[in-house]
């Protein structure tokens, strides 16, 4: 265990982990079950265009969300675009800036205008009052985001869109299998969109899914994601190809089989983080309220530079040198990044405050609670000696800049060395 600042890898100590710990490493699955499913795909000769595994996946996801329809697609970004086209969205779409840039890009790519609103500073979730203030005659939809898998204020947003006659979607990329007060994520607004990306708690290699209770929306989604075939009244944009193939569905179903185990494991990691970080000045772990049933996909902390003496970026760098690969989900916020920043967006003070402080820590089935304990030890040491770490890090940067062949800069790869044993 590291006890002094000299022990930190940033200052020449040995890295705490020989193998990198990552935020979004795909979860453990039953490989034999995957291979059996893939054999069935190959034997059947049906690889795509609404095969049996995609249908089975759609049935299971609709059941989890408590809705009648699910349309699986190639990823969540494209699924959000098909959804917007299916619903005839035009003009402006109000959404939080504190989200992955895909939420905004999905809309902009099809000619819609993302309008960014601020967040509740305590929860980090969309602020419905600010969303209301941004509605104009050109607004046709609001997109709520269940940030880090925590349900955003669904009821307030439903009231808002009812008042203004707008569409309401939820970017539920992080929230598959989550619920609040026994109400599963997936059944609110006009539709919700899950991501089944490799980094998600249910992964399809790449994948996404729209869930909805609205028959017409489902019919149009199904058509538009397959070139617009099958419905008489075509979208003016025609259709696209956003279908999920059978191999991805095989992976998603196998990952879904492991969902309960993955969540149990991640809950254990979350508890270990809570035990390890409680009482560390300036480090606040994002926690859940008793009414929530989270999937524990993300473990998020906020770093308060005023109390730790170091900022989030330096903590991220300290951890990186220890082979602990974190992610600042989400910094910069959408309005701070291109192409939106150049549009001269108004300040979003709560979003900007959070974006400077937020950090997602490694979890998932490749990370054990013991690993988490070691990560917490390093965070505790670094936070307790924040001012010293900051001063020395700045000195170290100067020394490296002056050295003829300094140590390598912050490595960017998260990939495990090819010689490393799988975990």
Interface ranges with ligand T4K (CB under 6 A): 22-26, 75-77, 99-100, 102-103, 145, 171, 173-174, 195, 197-199, 208, 325, 327, 329, 414
User: Given the complex with ligand T4K, which of 217 and 323 has the nearer CB atom?
Assistant: 323
We find the least distance from the C-beta atom of residue 215 to ligand T4K, in angstroms, to be: 25
We find the least distance from the C-beta atom of residue 13 to ligand T4K, in angstroms, to be: 22
User: Given the complex with ligand T4K, which of 82 and 166 has the nearer CB atom?
Assistant: 82
User: Given the complex with ligand T4K, which of 5 and 74 has the nearer CB atom?
Assistant: 74
User: Given the complex with ligand T4K, which of 327 and 335 has the nearer CB atom?
Assistant: 327
Q: What is the 3-state secondary structure (H, E, C) of the chain?
A: CCCCHHHCHHHCCCCCCCCCECCCCCCCCCHHHHHHHHHHHHHHCCCCCCCHHHHHHHHHHHHHHCCCEEEEECCHHHHHHHHHHHCCCCCEEEEECCCCHHHHHHHHHCCCEEEEECECCCCCCECHHHHHHCCCCCEEEEEEECHHHCCCCHHHHHHHHHHHCCEEEEECCCCCCCEECCEECCCCCCEEEEECCCCCCCCCCCCEEEEECCHHHHHHHHHHCECCCCCCCCCCCCCCECECCHHHHHHHHHHHHCHHHHHHHHHHHHHHHHHHHCCCCCEEECCCCCCEECCCCCEEEEECHHHHCCCHHHHHHHHHHCCECCECCCCCCHHHCCCCHHHCCCCCHHHHHHHCCEEEECCCCCCCHHHHHHHHHHHHHHHHCHHHHHHHHHHHHHHHHHCCCCCCCCCCCCCCCCCCCCC
We find the least distance from the C-beta atom of residue 221 to ligand T4K, in angstroms, to be: 16
We find the least distance from the C-beta atom of residue 359 to ligand T4K, in angstroms, to be: 12
We find the least distance from the C-beta atom of residue 175 to ligand T4K, in angstroms, to be: 9
User: Given the complex with ligand T4K, which of 5 and 361 has the nearer CB atom?
Assistant: 361
We find the least distance from the C-beta atom of residue 100 to ligand T4K, in angstroms, to be: 3
We find the least distance from the C-beta atom of residue 281 to ligand T4K, in angstroms, to be: 27
The residue nearest ligand T4K at its CB is 24
User: Given the complex with ligand T4K, which of 136 and 413 has the nearer CB atom?
Assistant: 413
User: Given the complex with ligand T4K, which of 208 and 245 has the nearer CB atom?
Assistant: 208
User: Given the complex with ligand T4K, which of 23 and 358 has the nearer CB atom?
Assistant: 23
We find the least distance from the C-beta atom of residue 98 to ligand T4K, in angstroms, to be: 9
């Amino acid at each position: 265990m590291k006890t002094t600042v000299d022990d930190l890898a940033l200052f020449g100590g040995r890295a705490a982990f020989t193998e990198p710990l990552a935020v979004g490493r795909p979860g453990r699955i039953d490989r034999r079950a995957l291979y059996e499913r893939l054999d069935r795909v190959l034997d059947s000769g049906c690889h795509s265009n609404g095969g049996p595994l995609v249908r089975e996946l759609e049935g299971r996801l609709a059941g989890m969300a408590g809705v009648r329809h699910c349309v699986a697609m190639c990823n969540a970004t494209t699924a959000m675009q098909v959804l917007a086209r299916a619903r005839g969205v035009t003009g402006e779409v109000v959404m939080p800036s504190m989200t992955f840039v895909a939420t905004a890009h999905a809309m902009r790519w099809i000619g819609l205008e993302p309008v960014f609103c601020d967040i509740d500073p305590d929860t980090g979730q969309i602020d419905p009052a600010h969303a209301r203030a941004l509605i104009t005659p050109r607004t046709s939809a609001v997109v709520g985001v269940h940030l880090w898998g925590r349900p955003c204020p669904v009821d307030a947003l439903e009231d808002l869109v009812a008042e203004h006659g707008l569409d309401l979607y939820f970017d539920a990329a992080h929230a598959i299998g989550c619920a609040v007060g026994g109400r599963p994520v997936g059944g609110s607004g006009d539709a919700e969109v899950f991501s089944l990306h490799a980094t998600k708690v249910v992964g399809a290699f790449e994948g996404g899914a729209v869930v909805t209770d609205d028959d017409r929306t489902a019919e149009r989604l199904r058509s538009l994601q397959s070139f617009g075939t099958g419905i008489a009244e075509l979208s003016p944009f025609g259709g696209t190809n956003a279908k999920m193939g059978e191999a991805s569905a095989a992976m998603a179903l196998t990952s879904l089989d492991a969902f309960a185990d993955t969540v149990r494991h991640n809950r254990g990691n979350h508890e270990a983080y809570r035990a390890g970080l409680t009482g560390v000045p300036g480090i606040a772990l994002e926690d859940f309220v008793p009414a929530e049933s989270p999937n524990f996909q993300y473990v998020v902390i906020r770093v308060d530079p005023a109390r730790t003496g170091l900022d989030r970026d330096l903590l991220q760098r300290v951890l990186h040198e220890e082979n602990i690969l974190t992610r600042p989900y989400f910094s910069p916020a959408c309005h701070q990044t291109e192409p939106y920043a150049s549009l001269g967006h108004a300040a979003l003070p709560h979003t900007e405050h959070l974006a400077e402080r937020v950090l997602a820590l490694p979890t998932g089935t490749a990370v054990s609670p013991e690993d988490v304990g070691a990560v917490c030890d390093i965070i505790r040491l670094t936070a307790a000696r924040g001012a010293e770490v900051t001063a020395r890090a700045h000195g170290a940067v100067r020394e490296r800049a002056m050295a003829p062949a300094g140590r390598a800069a912050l490595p960017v790869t998260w990939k495990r060395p090819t010689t490393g044993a799988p975990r």
